[in-house]
Amino acid sequence: MHRAGFVLAGGRSERMGRDKALLPYRSATLIEAVASHLKAAVDRVAVIGEPHKYADLGLPVYPDLVPGCGPLGGLHAALSLRWADWNLVVACDMPELAAPVLLELLHQASAVADPDQACVVPVSEGGEPEPLCAVYHQSCLAVVARALTEKRRKMKVLLGELNCIYQGRWPARLFTNVNTPEEWSHFERDGGL
Protein backbone atom coordinates (compact mmCIF):
# COMPACT_ATOMS: atom_id res chain seq x y z
CA MET A 1 0.00 0.00 0.00
CA HIS A 2 1.47 3.34 -1.06
CA ARG A 3 0.97 5.91 1.66
CA ALA A 4 2.04 9.48 2.32
CA GLY A 5 1.67 11.88 5.22
CA PHE A 6 0.90 15.58 5.27
CA VAL A 7 1.05 18.09 8.10
CA LEU A 8 -1.44 20.91 7.57
CA ALA A 9 0.14 24.21 8.60
CA GLY A 10 -1.63 26.69 6.36
CA GLY A 11 -3.65 28.50 9.01
CA ARG A 12 -2.99 32.07 10.08
CA SER A 13 -2.92 31.27 13.83
CA GLU A 14 -4.86 34.47 14.49
CA ARG A 15 -6.21 33.33 17.87
CA MET A 16 -2.73 32.24 18.99
CA GLY A 17 -1.16 35.55 17.96
CA ARG A 18 1.87 33.77 16.50
CA ASP A 19 2.51 30.73 14.31
CA LYS A 20 1.39 27.82 16.46
CA ALA A 21 3.23 25.33 14.25
CA LEU A 22 6.50 26.87 15.42
CA LEU A 23 5.72 26.85 19.14
CA PRO A 24 8.63 25.34 21.10
CA TYR A 25 7.74 21.78 21.99
CA ARG A 26 10.12 19.50 23.83
CA SER A 27 13.44 19.87 22.01
CA ALA A 28 11.96 21.08 18.71
CA THR A 29 8.74 22.73 17.49
CA LEU A 30 5.16 21.53 17.50
CA ILE A 31 5.15 20.90 13.74
CA GLU A 32 8.37 18.89 13.98
CA ALA A 33 6.84 16.69 16.68
CA VAL A 34 3.77 15.98 14.55
CA ALA A 35 5.96 15.33 11.49
CA SER A 36 8.06 12.83 13.46
CA HIS A 37 4.92 10.80 14.24
CA LEU A 38 4.05 10.80 10.55
CA LYS A 39 7.56 9.70 9.60
CA ALA A 40 7.12 6.66 11.85
CA ALA A 41 3.96 5.68 9.93
CA VAL A 42 4.33 6.53 6.23
CA ASP A 43 6.78 6.46 3.34
CA ARG A 44 6.84 10.18 2.52
CA VAL A 45 6.01 13.28 4.57
CA ALA A 46 5.41 16.87 3.49
CA VAL A 47 4.06 20.08 4.97
CA ILE A 48 1.14 21.92 3.41
CA GLY A 49 1.70 25.58 4.22
CA GLU A 50 3.70 28.61 3.19
CA PRO A 51 7.09 27.42 1.87
CA HIS A 52 9.01 30.45 3.18
CA LYS A 53 7.82 29.75 6.75
CA TYR A 54 8.74 26.08 6.91
CA ALA A 55 11.69 25.71 4.53
CA ASP A 56 14.09 25.01 7.42
CA LEU A 57 12.26 21.86 8.55
CA GLY A 58 14.01 19.57 6.07
CA LEU A 59 10.69 18.49 4.56
CA PRO A 60 9.07 19.38 1.25
CA VAL A 61 6.60 22.24 1.71
CA TYR A 62 3.71 22.93 -0.66
CA PRO A 63 1.26 25.86 -0.55
CA ASP A 64 -2.50 25.58 -0.79
CA LEU A 65 -3.60 25.61 -4.41
CA VAL A 66 -6.72 27.52 -3.39
CA PRO A 67 -5.59 29.90 -0.61
CA GLY A 68 -7.80 31.00 2.24
CA CYS A 69 -9.97 27.88 2.41
CA GLY A 70 -8.79 26.48 5.72
CA PRO A 71 -8.11 22.78 6.30
CA LEU A 72 -10.19 21.78 3.28
CA GLY A 73 -7.75 23.74 1.10
CA GLY A 74 -4.86 21.90 2.76
CA LEU A 75 -6.46 18.51 2.13
CA HIS A 76 -7.04 19.51 -1.49
CA ALA A 77 -3.38 20.50 -1.92
CA ALA A 78 -2.19 17.23 -0.34
CA LEU A 79 -4.39 15.03 -2.52
CA SER A 80 -3.51 17.09 -5.62
CA LEU A 81 0.14 16.03 -5.24
CA ARG A 82 -0.96 12.46 -6.04
CA TRP A 83 1.88 10.96 -4.01
CA ALA A 84 0.06 7.89 -2.77
CA ASP A 85 -3.14 5.89 -2.75
CA TRP A 86 -3.68 6.57 0.97
CA ASN A 87 -2.86 9.95 2.49
CA LEU A 88 -2.55 10.54 6.21
CA VAL A 89 -3.51 14.16 6.87
CA VAL A 90 -2.87 15.69 10.29
CA ALA A 91 -3.20 19.22 11.69
CA CYS A 92 0.04 20.76 12.94
CA ASP A 93 -1.36 21.60 16.38
CA MET A 94 -2.04 18.21 17.99
CA PRO A 95 0.71 17.88 20.60
CA GLU A 96 -0.69 14.69 22.17
CA LEU A 97 -0.93 12.75 18.93
CA ALA A 98 1.00 9.47 18.90
CA ALA A 99 2.35 7.26 16.12
CA PRO A 100 0.39 4.13 17.23
CA VAL A 101 -2.88 5.96 16.46
CA LEU A 102 -1.65 6.78 12.96
CA LEU A 103 -0.45 3.24 12.36
CA GLU A 104 -3.84 1.85 13.41
CA LEU A 105 -5.64 4.18 11.01
CA LEU A 106 -3.36 3.05 8.19
CA HIS A 107 -3.93 -0.59 9.13
CA GLN A 108 -7.68 -0.01 8.84
CA ALA A 109 -7.17 1.67 5.46
CA SER A 110 -5.23 -1.34 4.17
CA ALA A 111 -8.29 -3.51 4.84
CA VAL A 112 -10.71 -1.32 2.85
CA ALA A 113 -12.19 -3.44 0.05
CA ASP A 114 -13.56 -0.56 -2.05
CA PRO A 115 -11.44 2.57 -1.68
CA ASP A 116 -13.67 4.73 -3.91
CA GLN A 117 -13.97 8.06 -2.06
CA ALA A 118 -12.96 6.32 1.16
CA CYS A 119 -11.45 7.72 4.30
CA VAL A 120 -10.62 6.30 7.71
CA VAL A 121 -11.47 8.71 10.50
CA PRO A 122 -10.74 8.21 14.20
CA VAL A 123 -13.51 8.89 16.68
CA SER A 124 -12.79 10.25 20.15
CA GLU A 125 -14.31 8.65 23.22
CA GLY A 126 -16.94 11.41 23.19
CA GLY A 127 -18.12 10.27 19.75
CA GLU A 128 -16.60 13.13 17.76
CA PRO A 129 -14.96 12.29 14.41
CA GLU A 130 -11.50 13.81 13.88
CA PRO A 131 -11.22 14.76 10.19
CA LEU A 132 -7.90 16.55 10.77
CA CYS A 133 -6.22 13.31 11.78
CA ALA A 134 -7.49 10.91 9.15
CA VAL A 135 -6.48 8.81 6.16
CA TYR A 136 -7.95 9.86 2.80
CA HIS A 137 -7.83 7.78 -0.35
CA GLN A 138 -6.69 9.56 -3.48
CA SER A 139 -10.18 9.02 -4.95
CA CYS A 140 -11.53 11.62 -2.47
CA LEU A 141 -9.93 14.42 -4.51
CA ALA A 142 -12.93 14.98 -6.80
CA VAL A 143 -15.32 15.37 -3.85
CA VAL A 144 -12.88 17.71 -2.05
CA ALA A 145 -12.40 19.84 -5.20
CA ARG A 146 -16.18 20.10 -5.70
CA ALA A 147 -16.66 21.19 -2.07
CA LEU A 148 -14.05 23.92 -2.58
CA THR A 149 -15.70 25.10 -5.79
CA GLU A 150 -19.08 25.20 -4.07
CA LYS A 151 -17.56 27.01 -1.04
CA ARG A 152 -18.53 24.25 1.39
CA ARG A 153 -15.47 24.28 3.64
CA LYS A 154 -16.46 22.49 6.84
CA MET A 155 -14.46 19.29 7.22
CA LYS A 156 -17.15 17.46 9.21
CA VAL A 157 -19.68 18.22 6.47
CA LEU A 158 -17.24 16.81 3.91
CA LEU A 159 -17.13 13.52 5.83
CA GLY A 160 -20.84 13.08 5.06
CA GLU A 161 -20.01 13.09 1.35
CA LEU A 162 -17.29 10.46 1.60
CA ASN A 163 -17.40 6.72 2.28
CA CYS A 164 -15.98 7.03 5.78
CA ILE A 165 -14.91 4.25 8.04
CA TYR A 166 -15.11 5.52 11.62
CA GLN A 167 -12.47 3.87 13.74
CA GLY A 168 -12.25 3.26 17.46
CA ARG A 169 -13.05 5.28 20.53
CA TRP A 170 -9.76 7.04 21.20
CA PRO A 171 -8.99 9.21 24.24
CA ALA A 172 -10.00 12.77 23.31
CA ARG A 173 -6.68 14.17 24.59
CA LEU A 174 -4.89 12.56 21.61
CA PHE A 175 -6.66 14.97 19.27
CA THR A 176 -6.52 18.07 21.47
CA ASN A 177 -5.43 21.04 19.45
CA VAL A 178 -4.08 24.33 20.71
CA ASN A 179 -5.53 27.51 19.23
CA THR A 180 -5.01 30.21 21.85
CA PRO A 181 -2.26 31.27 24.27
CA GLU A 182 -4.55 30.13 27.11
CA GLU A 183 -4.90 26.63 25.63
CA TRP A 184 -1.14 26.43 25.16
CA SER A 185 -0.52 27.59 28.75
CA HIS A 186 -3.01 25.01 30.00
CA PHE A 187 -1.26 22.30 28.00
CA GLU A 188 2.15 23.35 29.37
CA ARG A 189 0.80 23.55 32.93
CA ASP A 190 -0.61 20.02 32.70
CA GLY A 191 2.83 18.62 31.93
CA GLY A 192 2.60 18.51 28.14
CA LEU A 193 6.12 19.82 27.77
Q: Which distant-in-sequence residues (6+ apart) come within 8 Å of 52 by Cβ?
A: none
Q: What is the DSSP string of 44-93?
A: EEEEES-HHHHGGGSS-EE--SSTT-HHHHHHHHHHHT---SEEEEEETT
Residues 55-94 have pLDDT tens digits of: 999 999 999 999 999 999 999 999 999 999 999 999 999 9
User: Can you tell me the distance from the alpha carbon of 187 to that of 72, in angstroms, rounded to the nearest whole number?
Assistant: 26
Confidence of residue 1 (pLDDT cuts 50, 70, 90): low
Beta bridge partners of 119: 136, 164
Confidence of residue 49 (pLDDT cuts 50, 70, 90): very high
User: Can you tell me the distance from the alpha carbon of 191 to that of 131, in angstroms, rounded to the nearest whole number?
Assistant: 26
Residues 146-164 have pLDDT tens digits of: 999 999 999 999 999 999 9
Stretch 108-130: mean pLDDT: 92
Say if strands 61-62 and 44-48 run parallel, antiparallel, or are unpaired. Answer: parallel
User: Can you tell me the distance from the alpha carbon of 94 to that of 163, in angstroms, rounded to the nearest whole number?
Assistant: 25
Domains of the chain: 3-187 (3.90.550.10)
25 or 46, which is more confident?
46
| Residue among 104, 84, 82, 85 at smallest CA distance from 37 | 104
| Residue among 81, 79, 94 at smallest CA distance from 37 | 94
